[in-house]
Structure 1
Amino acid sequence: MDRRVGGTTGASSTAGATGEVDPPLVGRRDVLEGFGRLLDTAADGTCRFVGLAGDPGAGKTRLLDELAAEAARRRLPALSGRATEFEEMPFGAVLDALDDRLETIAKELPERLGAPAAGLLATVFPALSVAAPGDVGTMAPATNRYHLYRAVRRLLEELAASDGLVLVLDDVHWADESTVELLDHLTRHPPRGRMLVAVAYRPAQASPRLAALMETATRIPVDPLSEAEVGELLGPEVSRARRSALYEASGGNPFYLDALARMGTGVGTPDGTGEPTEIGELPHAVRAALGMELSGLSATALLVARAAAVVADEFEPALVAVTAETSEDGTLQAINELVARDVVRPAAPGRFRFRHPLVRHAAYESAAAGWRHAVHARIAARLADLRAPATARAPHVERSARIGDQTAIATLVEAARSVAAQAPATAAHWLQEALRLVPDTPDMRLALLLELARAQAVSGRIAEGKDTARELLRLLPPDDFARRARAARLCGIMERQLDRPHEARALLLDELRRIPDTQAPAAVELRVRLVTESLMRSDFRAAQAVLDLMPENADGWEPSLVLAVAAVRPMPAYAAGLIDDAARYATVAAGLMAVSPDDHLADWLDTDIWLGWLELMMGRYADALQHFGRFLTVARTTGQSSMLPHIMAGQAQTLTMLGRLEEAAAAAEEATEVARLLRSSESLGFAMTQQCLAASWSGDHESAVRLGDELVGLRLGRGEWWAAMARYARGMALIHAGRLDEGAEQLIAACGDFNDPQLDPGTLVACCETLADVDATRERPRDATGWADRADVLARPGLETNGGFAMLARAHALTASDPDLAAEQAQAAAAILDKGGMRIHAGRARLRAGIAYTAAGERTQARAELGAAAETFTACGARTLHAQAVRAQRKVGVRVPGATGRAAGPHGLSRREFEVATLVAEGCTNQQIAERLFLSIRTVETHLSHIFAKLGVSSRVGIVSALNQNP
């Protein structure tokens, strides 16, 4: 046969035993030109993603080889890895690509990336495990994954820093879910630098998440060859009739063509037809061709080929010898034959690989199922003798263990727990395999079901986790009230995350009816969860009705349950306007929390966090921050990832109210990333709401409106508090962006037209104040007065900041008709809001006072108020408000140099920008700068973009040169 056919199959370009290499590529000119354009873009410093999509055998791997070769010609380093069919290892393709390279720089990375990032990377890359052991034990799985993905992004930036990088990942349709999550993170947060990420996959086998991800990349289809290209590939020695027959039988698929050509003269399926009827992945004709190729091997070589197919994608002869039960010499002789016949090819030194994954697939499938079962068992036993980690043994154990095999069950559970933080989907798979092996042992099965439900929830498979929790309820004895209540709570939380609050409530009520003693601890547990469900719906009367049935404590209650009841008691009182009662309840709950160990909070974290939200709404910001910080620690140490977006959203909103916008944006961004991993609309809504608000107040209107629009695209639950908050955030974003009519309409909708409001009282008053400001700006004083009147009605006695918002609303309404009184009202509001710690709103009140004084002709007072407002906005990072203050200052004759929204320092940089630039000059990475200044990576990057623009440079070297010049 013509050996050039092998060059199109997608096999590696590694030379075989004959020294032969792949010939020049036939066709594919459009693909190669596309590669050239992408490499040009990468050379300009822009990271690009490309997806090669094609059927099995279409030639994707060969094209990736061509991409790597072209990158080498341009002196652009390329690292390649691939996922494998039979071993679903966490991050397998990325590990395959990077680990060898990391061995050469392992000692440098902790200093270059920072110890925390290096420690996280060491949990995935063995090459780093000694140099940077790290400590990630205090992180919850979802947080761990998010920080791990950020660390991988920084790692890629480091690898690309000097010469650039092309990262090639093949067969990604077989990649584990964590690899797809990582790629998704990288597409949404592209690494900085000269980089191209190329992914090859089979669309028919791609998961929905991978398919959606590839829609955001540059997608290059790898289509079948034309008949003319097939003729060019086969060469003139092949007759026209045979060429046509081969083309028809292969459909222009290069691998199928190669397999059929290797058969010799026969073309077609065993019955003489050329129809490519699918069996598994392969048409009959190709399956027959591969079968003939394998059948032409000696008995020992065929045995070794089958054993190697079971062992791994890339295998060592010694392990294959154990697997095949042949001598090492005999195995090496057989491998020589396999290399000579181009069934396998040399890979890394001392290792081999099948020429194509489909050849491995054929060899694996050609072995009898019983024989494969025994071989997997031998491999698992051998790996155990070698003390290989459970993750290496698990893929073989799951294919060979028998029901009741306690050692196998322990191996699978150990493997699951070892990867739960980085790859919870893989952990869930191995736990399911362990459950399959568990005999009729209720206690073991129930414990594993609970662990499985949590792993599924953390991995974002909430629907599966909910089903597992319901299965747990089905198996629990009817009178096992304590464990049933815990399982029902877990299931209820997941039902809510699936945007099924009615099902959650029905489940809890059904379980509650089963308990004869309505005051039993299990019944109280269910009632507490019902209270939290009512709070989420802003149904405070229903929450209070349930609380009225419960004492503050009773015999048999665990301390954690006492704390949970105390934590939810203040919110209904606050909503009912019983501010003194709410304050008293909050003080009691905070006192209990102060003396409670973390494990008491862990038992009821979904409930305890309501104390933090209540303190936030009542303006007790220091208490709220302290409690949210503790909730985060507990959630991370106990793996309660589903709570993280709710907690970090509360933290972000508190920081926003305090005017600490950079910190708020960092917390909200992390909350959003974790929520995306969980794949819960509710969690994402909580997080993105705060991200939208932080961006809006900062003056990043484009991002804020985009986030607001994305919030609308979520399934916003009707009658839910978080959905109303999402609409409120979008309304504020639109107003701050200057789209006043749209924003006002959205705010009114968020308030439920004030007939059936879902928002908390404080936010309702703030909405009235904003709407009064909008109508004053639109010169509608009567409408502004109406909003001020409504704010007066809604302001609750006992909450001074509510009164401050009402005064500010009145100031907006009075500016046109009575500017002196408007200024007095605004000044009084500023004092109240400033005392409450609400710096941005205090600054807004001073801005309104300055505008009113200007209208009244009192320029001296106007200058003082406007100057104070500008300073406040600068300190908070509220750029648009600062610009408004500057414009108002200029109207009263204040000369303000180049309003950048921040005080100018050396080289025209703000104080923070100068700090970042100085650390760049010291050689710090973005990660190190973030750790030193307690900023997020994204914030550091934003500062750098501003620094580049102000200094007129385009690189870190340029920053150093600029700083060395006189400012």
Structure 2
Amino acid sequence: MGSTPLVGRQNALSALGNALTASLRDGFQFVTLVGDPGAGKTRLLGELVTMAGERGFTALWGRAAEFEQVMPFSALVDALDDHLDARREDIADAVGAAQAGLLAGVFPALATGEERPGADRSGLVRYRLYRALRQMVDLLAGPSGLVLILDDVHWADDSSMEFLDHIIRHPPARPVLVAAAYRPAQAPPRLATLTTTAATRGHEVVVGPLGPAEVEEFLGPSVSRTRSRALYEASAGNPFYLEALARMGHTDVAELPPTVLAALQVELGDLSPDALLVAQAAAVAADEFEPSMAAVAAEVPATTALAALDELVERDIVRASGGRFRFRHPLVRRAAYESAAAGWRLAAHARIAAHLARLGAPATARAHHVEHSGSFGDLDAVGVLVTAARAVTTHAPATSAHWLQAALRLMPGDAATREERLALLMELSWAQGVSGRLADGRDTARELLRLLPEDDYPRRARAARLCALMERQLDRPHEARALLLDELSRMPNPRAAAAVPLRMRLVAESMMRVDFRAAQAVLDLMPDTAEDWEPGLEVAVAALRPMPAFAAGRTAEALRYAERADRLINTAPDDHLSEWLDAIAWLCWAESSLGRYGDALRHFDRAAAVARSTGQSYILTNLLAGRARTLVTMGRLDAAMVTAEESVEGARLLDSGQQLVFALTQVCLAASWAGDDDTAIGAGNEAVQRGVGGGEVWEAIARYARGQALINAGRLEEGADAVLDACNGFESPRLDRATLLLSCETLAQVAAARGHTVESMAWAARAVQLDDPALPAFAGLVPLARAHALRAKEPASAAAAAAEAAELLAAADRRLDAGRALLVAGLAHQEAADKARARERLKAAADVFGTCGAGNLKTQAERALRRLGVRVTAGGDASRLGLSPREMEVALLVADGLTNQQVAQRLFLSVRTVETHLSRIFAKLEVSSRVGVATALNRRD
């Protein structure tokens, strides 16, 4: 790992040692070593390997490479692949067959030769791959721990960066330390923020230059003080440059090369001709290369290559690694690569590509060399690049886009290849969008529009829809609308079949900005069907009709539209739906708004399955968010949280602010009702602070969710103000009727809790005005709002109203709200001195909340029962100790010896939330350690 002495660096060594200790104590840790090229990061990583071995960790090391930056997961494969061959069966058992198949597509050691492309082509397949990778890392760690070292991460591909972000946000349970070294000047922004994202589990070690005294120690007593000072000034204390200059003992101080690359060129110039040729060939071949590949690239016999490698090892240009070799430092490889003539390098890449083809290597292994050696018009090279791109499109779409662009650069622009070029541009636009490069995808779609003939209306409409969808994800709705209108103006017949998809997208854009009149005006110009419509278009138009009708208060009409759309979808095959999922999504949301929760879930699930199989990530994240919102309404909080978190991950992968706000809003609501106030408010704050979607419905819903979370967390005044603001003071509100009705009920509750009975009655009266007899799903919210207002002065009447609300809400499958009504009824009966009925209602409420997973509400119901003399076993100890049920769960697991990370994994919480709970537990139990928690709990009996 390094033959030079380690001088100084005591602070860095101490930080690495502390990270190892923290990993054993608290689980996952993430440390970055940040410094300029040659600063000594790799040398310190070698020390980390030694320290890890002394403490019983398994240490695995991988490195990203400058000339193979697009290779998917290259550093991870380098680190893990040799270690995986003997663990194949264990890994398959641990992660499951589906995830094992995903891993086999990345790691050659896990490949069986029987892998088939999965059904999921969406960007969220990466999320499942990252989860499988995290599980695999957890398995490899075992009880003794794992140190995963990733060097030169500034050269890692996008998928590797996404995985690092994922494992930080969803850390493994066992002791795992990930150490990543990178150059700050070359690091992408995402890499530089990972340590901050890791919070208390993140550690940054800055590796700077050596000082004059350290340089003297580094060089040793054989170098005079005068020369040492000159070498220090020439190298600026950079250890690698210092070492390179020190090798040039015969060079006069005044003639020292001005840069490290120049010094390395001098070092390479001292090699024999054969050794230099093989070094240049090896630099072309790979970061870690086999002698045979270097011989092929150099066009020399194997014996000559081996003799040259002996010289290169002796001169410490390369170092042996098993049966393969690696340059002692990436800078040495770069110097060898750049010392070769450009034309010779091109031919060397071509020789390697041809050799790999003869060996039957997959296109993904050949693509890098084909990209560097292919010539314009070489259709075979184009074929290799396209095949490679399609092979990695699901798990590494950024790499797929890179290779598609390379293929397009080589493809001639003649009539023979025109159709293929157009198809590849559409494919490229999709890959760029899925990989989070929405602006690039938008630009590619616009280039496609430029190339398509003016009269090719169907394909132009498809490209324009895709482009407008990306403009929407980029929070550029005005550009999306202008593009659609421009494309429509080009059509001689605005009512033609090709115009319908563009008009549908216009409808969606109008609905997003709450201009339902404009949406309805466009829909009024569209028939329900036509003879020249392609399959599925009739379903799509039908799916768009319910929401504008519902928004305009034409409820009966909206319900008829929803029923017709339901019938059409039930008889349509999936391939008829795939082109129109953005329209189907509007139907799903409309059904949920109409209280047709069962139909909404069924359609959300089917549309999501189609989106996965066809790679429509933009729609999938939206569908998952809608599904989560419906599950929250139905009181299925655990399932809602899982779905919402998947939507968040997908939105982050897309880098779409709009979709992320959709998803975070649902996390906020699900976590809040589940009793995880910190997670809920954190998600709500992030959703609102994103600052996108101003004036549109989804931005208003995010502000409403945050307000509800604040109220549930006990911050009544602040939360009420936020809810009222989200409703725009009920002056031209952008929220749907159901959310406005919920807001009235919530504001009535807050006003009553603050003793403002008149205000509470006013909110209850406003709820009556919003009620719609045609929507029984929301009818129960009206008597519930009235119950809040009546409790202070007429508790018996309040109890009756709340009981009525509970019955209506339960019938509508709104279990969580039904439980809240039962709680209000029980409390009101208690205040009316009707203890028997109070116990009955409160027990029912506690049961409902337990089924829903609403922890805080269950605690409220149980607390009220205890005041009535009812013995409540669940959470009893927690109450006596002053702990909330969630705090009691955390305390019991801590007392059992679990780390914070393991507690988080067991309870499906973030580590940060566990740490917050633990600090409160310490304060409430008046202890200062985990041992103190265990002692306090042991005394509870």
Q: Same fold (TM over 0.5)?
A: yes
Whether 1:154 and 2:154 are equivalent positions in the alignment is no
- Counterpart secondary structure, 2:144: coil
- The secondary structure found in structure 1 opposite 2:439 is helix
After the TM superposition, which residues 45-194 of structure 1 pair with which residues of structure 2 at under 5 Å, given as runs? 45-88=26-69, 89-130=71-112, 137-194=118-175
After TM superposition, the structure 1 = structure 2 runs for residues 273-284 of structure 1, keeping only pairs within 5 Å, are 276=258, 283=259
C-alpha displacement of 1:882: 1.0
**Could you tell me how far apart the structure 2 residues matched to 1:853 and 1:135 are?**
62
Distance (Å, rounded) in 1 between the aligned partners of 2:617 and 2:121:
6
Aligned position for 1:17: none
Residue of structure 2 in register with 1:360 after alignment: 333
CA distance in 2, matches of 1:488, 1:175: 33
Once the two structures are superposed, residues 594-634 of structure 1 have per-residue CA deviations (whole angstroms, 9 ceiling, x without a partner) of: 11111111111111111111111111111111111101110
- Say which SS state the counterpart of residue 67 (structure 2) adopts: coil
| Matched residue, 1:265 | 250
Could you say what secondary structure the match of 1:725 adopts? helix
Deviation at 1:817, TM superposition (A): 2.2
Aligned AA (1:125): F
Structure 2 residue corresponding to 1:727, chosen from 698, 703, 710 = 703
1:249 is matched with which residue?
A: 234
Partner of 1:18: none
CA deviation profile, 1:11-46 (whole Å, cap 9, x unmatched): x23xxxxxxxx2541111111111111111122142
Aligned counterpart, 2:587: 611
The Cα offsets for residues 817-862 of structure 1, whole Å up to 9 and x where unpaired, read as 2222222211111111000000110111111112222222222222
Distance 1:226 1:705, change over 3 A: same
- Structure 2 matches for 1:897-936, cutoff 5 A? 897=873, 899=875
CA distance in 2, matches of 1:893, 1:293: 87
1:311 to 270, 274, 285: 285
Please state whether the residue corresponding to 1:365 is helix, strand or coil.
helix
1:503 alignment partner in structure 2:
479
Equivalences for 1:184-333 in 2 at 5 Å? Answer: 184-216=165-197, 217-266=202-251, 276=258, 283=259, 286-333=260-307
How far apart, CA to CA, are the structure 1 residues paired with 2:303 and 2:17?
46
Are 1:43 and 2:28 matched, yes or no? no
Conserved in 1, the CA contact under 8 Å of 2:388 and 2:403? yes
- Matched-pair contact (CA < 8 Å) for 1:51–1:218: yes
Whether the 8 Å contact between 2:585 and 2:623 is mirrored in structure 1 is yes
Deviation at 1:745, TM superposition (A): 0.8
What are structure 2's unaligned runs of at least 5 residues? 922-928
Q: What residue is the counterpart of 1:421 in the other structure?
A: 394
Shift of 1:275: 8.6
Partner of 2:437: 461
What's the CA shift string for 1:876-919, capped at 9, x where partnerless? 1111111111222233333323536999xxxx999xx9xx99xx
Q: Which amino acid aligns with 1:339?
A: V
Question: 1-side partners of 2:917 and 2:40: how far apart?
Answer: 44
TM-score normalised by L of structure 2 = 0.92
CA 1:468–1:482 in 2, change beyond 3 Å: closer, same or farther?
A: same
What corresponds to 1:4 in structure 2?
Answer: none
Matches within 5 A, 1:564-713: 564-713=540-689
| Alpha-carbon separation, structure 2, partners of 1:94 and 1:411 | 24
Determine the C-alpha separation between the residues in 1 that align with 2:215 and 2:792: 81
- The structure-2 alpha-carbon separation of the partners of 1:291 and 1:274, relative to structure 1 and needing over 3 Å to count, comes to closer
User: Cα offset for 1:112?
Assistant: 2.6
Counterpart of 1:821 (choices 797, 800, 811) is 797
- CA distance in 1 between counterparts of 2:407 and 2:551 reads 48
Distance in 2 (alpha carbons) for counterparts of 1:140 and 1:211 = 30
State the Cα distance separating 1:345 from its structure 2 match. Answer: 1.1
Q: Which runs of 4+ in 1 moved over 4 A?
A: 133-136, 272-276, 900-903, 935-947
Rounded to whole Å, the distance in 1 between the matches of 2:60 and 2:383 is: 36
> Post-superposition shift, 1:140?
3.0
1:534 aligned onto 2:507: no
What's the counterpart of residue 341 of structure 1?
A: 315
Do the aligned residues in 2 keep the contact of 1:537 with 1:720 (CA within 8 Å)? Answer: yes
Report Cα offsets for 1:650-698 as digits up to 9, x if no partner: 1111111111111111111111111111110100011111011000000
How many percent of aligned residue pairs carry the same amino acid?
A: 56
Is residue 122–residue 611 contact of structure 2 (8 Å, CA) maintained in 1? no
- Tell me, in whole angstroms, the C-alpha distance in 2 between the residues paired with 1:134 and 1:402: 32
Alignment of 1:386-425 (within 5 A): 386-425=359-398
Q: Supply the distance in 2 between the matched residues of 1:610 and 1:596 (Cα, whole angstroms).
A: 17
1:60 and 1:105, CA in 2 relative to 1: closer, same or farther beyond 3 A? same
Alpha-carbon displacement from aligned partner over 1:358-380 (angstroms, at most 9, x marks no partner): 01100000001011011111111
Gap change, CA 1:900 and 1:524, over 3 Å in 2: farther
- Other structure's SS at 2:60 match: strand
Aligned to 2:841: 865
Cα deviations by residue, 1:570-616 (Å, 9 ceiling, x for unpaired) = 11111111111111100110111011111111111111111111111
Change (3 A) 1:887 1:503: same
Q: Is the 8 A contact 2:245 2:256 kept in 1?
A: no
CA distance in 2, matches of 1:719, 1:81: 48
Paired with 2:645 and 2:39, the residues of 1 have a C-alpha distance of 40
Q: Which amino acid aligns with 1:180?
A: M
Contact 1:880 1:901 in 2 (8 A): no
| C-alpha contact 1:890 1:896 (8 A) present in aligned 2 | yes
One-letter identity of the residue aligned with 2:240 = F
CA 215–840 in structure 1, closer or farther in 2 if over 3 Å, else same: closer
Compute the displacement of 1:135 (Å).
6.2
Count of residue correspondences: 907
Q: Report if the CA contact (8 A) 1:121-1:148 is conserved.
A: yes
CA displacement 1:932-959 (0-9 Å, x = unmatched)? xxx9976999999999x9xxxx99xxx9
**Aligned residues of 2:143 and 2:175 also touching (Cα < 8 A):** no
SS of residue in 2 equivalent to 1:78: strand
d(CA) in 2 for partners of 1:384, 1:316? 17
Q: Is the 8 A contact 2:143 2:174 kept in 1?
A: no
CA distance in structure 1 between the aligned counterparts of 2:106 and 2:680, rounded to whole angstroms: 35
Shift of 1:205: 0.5
Q: Within 1, Cα distance between the matches of 2:516 and 2:36?
A: 56
Please, what TM-score do these two structures have when normalized by structure 1?
Answer: 0.90
* Residues 709 and 730, structure 1, Cα contact 8 Å, conserved in 2: yes
Aligned residue number for residue 376 of structure 1: 349
Match of 1:65, SS state, is helix
Q: Distance in 2 between matches of 1:298 and 1:891?
A: 91
Distance 1:895 1:734, change over 3 A: same
1:407-435 deviations in whole A, cap 9, x for unaligned? 11111111111111111111111111111
Q: Which moved more, 1:864-873 or 1:485-494?
A: 864-873
**166-175 vs 110-119, greater mean Cα deviation:** 110-119
Take 1:613 and 1:718, find their aligned partners in 2: how far apart are those partners?
Answer: 20
What secondary structure does 2:68 align onto?
Answer: coil
SS of the residue corresponding to residue 785 of structure 2 reads: helix
Q: Give the whole-Å Cα distance in 1 for the aligned partners of 2:45 and 2:806.
A: 63
